């Protein structure tokens, strides 16, 4: 997918009150950043922020942090937040590879929404549900480990199920076509809405251990 350049993207990001400028300094103490002891949920690869913003509005007693590495993508979330005041939402511009250097025993839930499938076999380690990344997530969870994933990519979904099971995760719920299941509390992402309109099935899995 080609990412369009956004004029003054970096400047807008740096000026946003939602951006955590130096996340590594907050490792293990993100609750202090939010000034409360509410649960912290993160979305890795947050895209343009629709899911994260809607979640923060719907659940004011949960803190949300979005992670996105591309300036021209995260800036879209920044633009949407210019007219919104949310005390329970923060954004971090970084690569997911850095996740274990940013958080330590403080995350309740990880959302993986429409992650890059990295389709070639030689790219498998780059997938956010690979053994490589699941190992990285181990140290960031507070107590129980909980990951919720949504994707339109069947092969990535199947790969992820195997990865979760191999790492001893248990399946809380699973859907092979989320639009047909009519999940009441489902919050759509930009991609999800697009693919549903095109008639593609949306796969979802909720795992824990």
State yes or no: is 152 an active-site residue: no
E-assigned strand segments in 94-137: 109-113
Q: Extract the runs of DSSP E, i.e. beta strands, from the chain.
A: 40-44, 63-68, 89-93, 109-113, 146-151, 170-175, 203-208
Beta strand 109-113 pairing with 89-93: unpaired
Angle between helices 71-80 and 50-58 (to 10 degrees): 40
Quote the Cα angle for 203-207-208, to 5°: 170
Q: Are 44 and 96 in contact (CB under 8 A)?
A: yes
DSSP annotation of 4: P
**Catalytic annotation, pick one of 87, 116, 121, 177:** 116
The residues annotated with a catalytic role in the active site are 116
């Amino acid at each position: 997918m080609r990412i369009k350049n956004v004029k003054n993207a970096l400047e807008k990001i740096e000026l946003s009150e939602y951006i955590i400028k130096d996340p590594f300094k907050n490792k293990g103490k993100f609750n202090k950043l939010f000034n409360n002891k509410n649960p912290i949920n993160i979305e890795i690869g947050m895209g343009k922020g629709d899911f994260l913003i809607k979640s923060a509005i719907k659940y004011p007693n949960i803190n949300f942090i979005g992670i996105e590495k591309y300036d021209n993508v995260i800036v879209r979330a920044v633009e949407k937040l210019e007219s919104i005041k949310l005390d329970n939402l923060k954004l971090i511009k970084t690569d997911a590879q850095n996740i274990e250097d940013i958080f330590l025993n403080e995350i309740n839930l990880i959302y993986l929404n429409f992650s890059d499938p990295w389709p070639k076999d030689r790219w498998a380690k780059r997938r956010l549900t690979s053994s490589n990344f699941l190992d990285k997530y181990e140290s960031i969870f507070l107590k129980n480990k909980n990951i919720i994933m949504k994707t339109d990519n069947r092969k990535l979904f199947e790969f992820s199920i195997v990865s979760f099971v191999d790492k001893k995760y248990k399946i809380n719920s699973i859907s092979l076509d989320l639009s047909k299941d009519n999940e009441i509390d489902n919050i759509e992402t930009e991609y999800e809405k697009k693919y549903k309109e095109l008639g593609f099935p949306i796969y979802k899995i909720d795992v824990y251990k």
